[in-house]
């Protein structure tokens, strides 16, 4: 039987003090709701996102992430149970189970959802996810008898004795799809907030003789994002976990606390990541590569044995071949660097293809943009590009060709040729002293005046 997902992403998040929907704020380069969706990757049913505040923006981001998602709108935010009923048409006759997650709670683990599914398989009709809170604060309290849930009481409606309970409600719930939708529609709003709470289905289910159980998880999984401080704390949690995972998978980091990773960073074993490296989204580093200090990578692929940096920038579309070198103060964008090729310093390579074994001298620039269009440069294998060469794209430089230092290349260079494209040097005897004398006199006159 399939397990479906309802992801709530309708709230305004007023405490974020932002014009953006709360779920679009990012952790590790990905929207909050993307992390929540990742928890449900193994689910084999339909996935429904309930949008509301800034719904068009949330819908756009969701479909860019996964075009199979279904987005439904909760025009008025009347509580979690009301939000769940927005998915009724999509899940009508869907069968199976449905789990409800929150778009602003990014760290629920797939293993936790598996534990909830196991409780369902063991006979529970409704399964709620709880956690023991170090500081229960304003969380809803879970009134239990063993692992049986009697009811959930919201903090605003709780007595002092109930507020002393430390077992708190995460809000995550799983049940048979028809049960979840039917009970959500049956909830009332006779409470302090006047909202329709999904937590009320615990009491409604028990009144029908259903088995309602609690599965618990670590409190860190239930971290919800309501403020910028929460967002920063969540970023720190993600980074710490991601670094620990890399170290456990045989990646070397001398100062892991200084390395910033993204949601989808992939790094192979025996890679070396030096201090103060930033990985933006879409980066894959293969085994044995080295990323040296103070480098910034985004949307790129670094093959085995390649060395990047220090102080290098790889932008989207950069593809580095095996054992290639990209050195200090080099920027690569939408370009393929061949196996064993070297771009060692002070260079910009954009919209280009660099052949195997080619050496790019310091200060080289592929002049790829004419103000309207981008143009491509192709350099063959085992070529040598002299320092301070400007290549005015579109250009092709053949295998084993060479450019002289200081050249401006505005014609193709056939294989094996040497291109020299620089003005003839002219020395004017004594002119430097005369010019300096004139300039210093003008400066002195200006200061005196």
Beta bridge partners of 385: 360, 403
| Percent of the chain topping pLDDT 70 | 100
The active-site residue, picked from 25, 35, 82, 345, is: 345
Is the pLDDT score of 125 beyond 90? yes
Is the pLDDT score of 15 beyond 90? no
Is the pLDDT score of 154 beyond 90? no
Q: Which residues of 80-109 are buried (b: 16+ CB within 10 A; e: fewer)?
A: bbbbbbbbbebbeebebbbbbbbbbbbbbe
Q: Sorting pLDDT into bands at 50, 70 and 90, what band is 84?
A: very high
pLDDT in tens, 399-428: 999 999 999 999 999 999 999 999 888 999
pLDDT in tens, 357-384: 999 999 999 999 999 999 999 999 999 9
Residue 211 in tokens? 């088995």
The answer to whether 386 touches 404, Cβ cutoff 8 Å, is yes
Is the pLDDT score of 136 beyond 90? no
Predicted confidence at residue 211, as pLDDT, reads: 96
Contacts 24+ apart (CB under 8 A), 273-277: 273/246, 274/309, 274/310, 277/309
Is the pLDDT score of 13 beyond 90? no
Average pLDDT over residues 299-327: 98
Nearest to 70 by CA among 1, 9, 2: 9
Is the pLDDT score of 45 beyond 90? yes
From the number of C-beta atoms within 10 Å of its C-beta (0-12, 13-18, 19+), residue 394 rates as: middle
- 345 part of the active site: yes
Beta bridge partners of 9: 51
The answer to whether 288 touches 305, Cβ cutoff 8 Å, is yes
Q: Is the dihedral of CA 301, 303, 306, 307 positive or negative?
A: positive
Domains of the chain, each with CATH number or no CATH:
3-222 (3.90.550.10), 228-419 (2.160.10.10)
Is the pLDDT score of 192 beyond 80? no
pLDDT in tens, 290-299: 999 999 999 9
Nearest to 387 by CA among 364, 416, 357: 364
Range of lowest pLDDT (18-22, 25-29, 282-286, 330-334):
18-22
pLDDT in tens, 59-76: 999 999 999 999 999 998
Predicted confidence at residue 424, as pLDDT, reads: 87
Predicted confidence at residue 208, as pLDDT, reads: 96
Predicted confidence at residue 193, as pLDDT, reads: 81
The answer to whether 177 touches 96, Cβ cutoff 8 Å, is yes
Task: Tell me the pLDDT of the chain averaged across its residues.
Answer: 95
Q: What is the rounded CA–CA span in Å between residue 257 and residue 286? A: 21
């Amino acid at each position: 039987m399939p397990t479906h997902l309802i992801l709530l992403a309708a709230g305004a998040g007023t405490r974020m003090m932002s014009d953006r929907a709360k779920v679009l704020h990012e952790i590790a380069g990905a929207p909050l709701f993307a992390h929540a969706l990742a928890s449900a990757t193994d689910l084999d049913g339909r996935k429904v996102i309930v949008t509301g505040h800034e719904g068009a923006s949330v819908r756009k981001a969701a479909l860019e992430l996964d075009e199979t998602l279904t987005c439904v709108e909760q025009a008025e935010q009347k509580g979690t149970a009301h939000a769940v009923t927005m998915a009724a048409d999509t899940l009508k006759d869907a069968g199976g189970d449905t789990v409800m997650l929150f778009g602003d709670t990014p760290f629920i683990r797939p293993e936790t959802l598996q534990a909830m599914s196991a409780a369902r398989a063991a006979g529970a009709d409704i399964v709620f996810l709880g956690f023991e809170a170090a500081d229960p604060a304003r969380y809803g309290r879970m009134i239990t008898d063993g692992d049986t849930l009697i009811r959930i009481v919201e903090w605003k409606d709780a007595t002092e004795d109930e507020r002393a309970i430390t077992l708190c409600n995460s809000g995550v719930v799983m049940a048979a799809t028809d049960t979840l939708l039917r009970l959500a529609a049956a909830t009332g709003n006779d409470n302090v907030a006047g909202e329709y709470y999904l937590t009320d289905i615990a009491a409604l289910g028990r009144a029908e003789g259903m088995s309602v159980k609690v599965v618990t998880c670590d409190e860190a999984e239930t971290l919800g994002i309501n403020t910028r401080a929460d967002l920063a704390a969540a970023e720190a949690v993600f980074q710490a976990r991601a670094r620990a995972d890399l170290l456990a998978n045989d990646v070397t980091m001398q100062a892991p606390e200084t390395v910033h990773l993204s949601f989808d960073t992939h790094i192979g074993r025996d890679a070396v990541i030096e201090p103060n490296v930033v990985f933006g989204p879409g980066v894959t580093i293969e085994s044995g590569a080295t990323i040296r200090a103070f480098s910034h990578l985004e949307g790129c692929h670094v093959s085995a044995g390649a060395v990047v940096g220090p102080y290098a920038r790889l932008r989207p579309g950069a593809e580095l071949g095996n054992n290639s070198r990209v050195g200090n103060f080099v920027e690569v964008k939408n370009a393929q660097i061949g196996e064993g090729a070297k771009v060692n310093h002070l260079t910009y390579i954009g919209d280009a293809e660099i052949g195997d074994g080619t050496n790019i001298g310091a200060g080289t620039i592929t002049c790829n943009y004419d103000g309207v269009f981008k143009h491509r440069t192709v350099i063959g294998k085992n070529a040598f590009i002299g320092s301070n060469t400007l290549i005015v794209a579109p250009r092709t430089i053949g295998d084993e060709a060479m450019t002289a230092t200081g050249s401006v290349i505005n014609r193709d260079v056939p294989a094996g040729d040497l291109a020299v494209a620089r003005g003839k040097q002219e020395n004017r005897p004594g002119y430097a002293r005369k010019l300096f004398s004139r300039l210093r006199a003008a400066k002195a006159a200006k200061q005196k005046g």
